[in-house]
Each structure stands twice: as C-alpha cells, then as structure tokens.
Chains A and B, each alone.
Chain A
Amino acid sequence: MPATSTLAKKETGESTLPEATRGGIFFTPRVDIYETSDEVVLLCDMPGASATDIDVTFERGELSLYGKVAPRPAATLCEEYAVGDFYRTFSIASAIDSDRISAECQDGVLCVHLPKQEQAKPKRITVAAS
C-alpha cells in the first residue's frame, strides 16, 4: 500500500525532528465563561504557556486564543497526556466593547476581560411610589 510507505517515511523523519508536533497540531483548551453586569470574563487553562507565549487577537467579531507551549522532554516511562499548543476561537457579540478587551495570565490560566458597551449594560430603573 502506498499510504503505508508514506507513513513509514514520515515516521523516520519524525524521529530525528523532536518538534514535529508543531506542524499544526493544537489542543482545545478548556474554558469557564461568566458574565457580570459590566463584562464577560473568560478563564482558559493553558498549562505550560507563559504570558509572553500567548496571543489573544480580536478580528471581525472573532476572539482567538493561541498559547504556544515550549516542548518538554519526552515522557519515556509513562505518557498520560501529550504536549502541544492551545488554540480556540469564540465569536463575540457586538455588545462587547472590543477596544477595551484586556487579558492577563497567571499560573497557566489565561483570563480575558470582555467589557460590555455602555448601552448593553443593564440599567436599574427606580420605581417611584405614586
């Protein structure tokens, strides 16, 4: 089978290139999202990525999170998880003020703040006794 021989060739190539996983393999990071009256907050697990390794971009209503994870020594005794980059995108409602989106990262958890536009914030209407 020609497919088998191609695979075998790739494998031999991979054994000399420890960073072959960089070829477009991404893991989907897990997120928690909550909404307050002022903003929507997104918490994202990106273990192994520091603040400088994370790209948060907002373009045409789409927020993308990309965490580059440096390769670590191969797990030779037991491998329960694989190491790779993280990537996930979200479509963002127009009620978000995209100019004020901010992000921070601590201990491998990325936190993205998506502030709401003024007109999207809930307003309390005082009820006057008549």
Chain B
Amino acid sequence: MSLLMRRQPADELQQQMTRFRREMDQLFGRWTLGQESWPGLAVSYPTLNLREDEDFIYAEAELPGQKLADLEITVTGDNRLTIQGERKEPTEVQGEWHRRERGLGRFERTLDLPVSMDTSKVEASLENGILCIKLAKSPQAKPRKIPVKAG
C-alpha cells in the first residue's frame, strides 16, 4: 500500500501503471486489461493509440495484412474519426485449419477526438501493418501563447 500512499507526480504513477500492465501482458498475453480477454473475442478492433503535438493528432492502429486502399477512413463533423474495413478470409487456403486465432470479418471503429480538426488535412499511411493517421488541429484548437505583461 505504501506505493499508492506516496505522493508522486501523475506521470510517474502513469509510468508505473504502464510498467505493471506490461508485466501482466508478459504473463497473460497482450489482451488482458479492459480489452479482449481471449483471442478471437473482439471488443473493439482495431485498438488505437493516440498522441499529439502542437499542430497534429496522430492515431495509430495495428492492422496486419490490410491494404490502405481497402480501408475507409472518414472524419465527420469536425472531430469524429471513423475507420472501417474488412479482414477477409484468405482465398488460397485449400486444406484443414489447425488454429485460427487471427480473426476475420468487418470492423468499424468510431472515435471522438478531444479537439476539432481541420478535415481537409488528414493523411493516412499503412506500413508493415501499422496504420498511422495524421490529423491537423483546427487553428482555434491550437495552443496559444498569451503574453504576460508586467502590471
């Protein structure tokens, strides 16, 4: 308990939580906390990681085996991001399945971003199964520096 009672900055606590989760991931596999508890039991797919800098929000998802052309990425309103696609059944398979853990079928993920976007500036790339969507923040959503004058 002394760990939780200690006063510490929020980011340090977050780091400890991330570390704890990684250790759990190592023990039980990757889909343990709050997400899929077992391969094939989809809760939300694809899972997303979001980060931002001053001008952009970057949404990243793992979509192995997908082609960018087969994905439909839309931004509606000024902040709602939707990713749609389908993981198709491999066509060349003629034989008997031993294991099927990867899952297939249609997926759709909708997400409300925390700030409004400039919808004309959305870029997406897909490399080695990692989808990266770069969304430009609208000018009013960008941080502004307010000069402080000495009174």
Contacts and interface: CB of A to CB of B under 8 A. Distances in A.
Interface string A64-107: 00000000111111111111100000000000000000000011
Interface residues of A, number: 45
Nearest to B104: A32
B128 A76 contact: no
B110 to A, nearest CB: 14
Given A28-B29, A47-B128, A108-B128, A1 B101 contact: no
Contacts of A35: 95-96, 98
* Size band of the interface chain B makes with A: 35 or more
B26 A45 contact: no
A33 B97 contact: yes
A48 B62 contact: yes
Contacts of B99: 31-33
Interface in B88-112: 90, 93-103
A33 B44 CA distance: 24
A118 interface: no
Contacts of B47: 80-81
Contact of A108 (B2, B44, B129): B129
A14 B39 CA distance: 30
Contact of B65 (A7, A27, A109): A109
A27 B52 contact: no
Contacts of B62: 45, 47-48, 81, 108
A21 interface: yes
A48 B96 contact: no
Interface stretch (B13-21, B72-80, B117-125, B143-151): B13-21
Interface of B: 2-3, 12, 15-16, 18-19, 21-22, 25-26, 29-30, 35, 39, 44, 47-52, 57-58, 60, 62-67, 90, 93-103, 114, 126, 128-130
Q: Which 3 A-B pairs have the closest CB atoms?
A: A108-B129, A75-B49, A47-B129
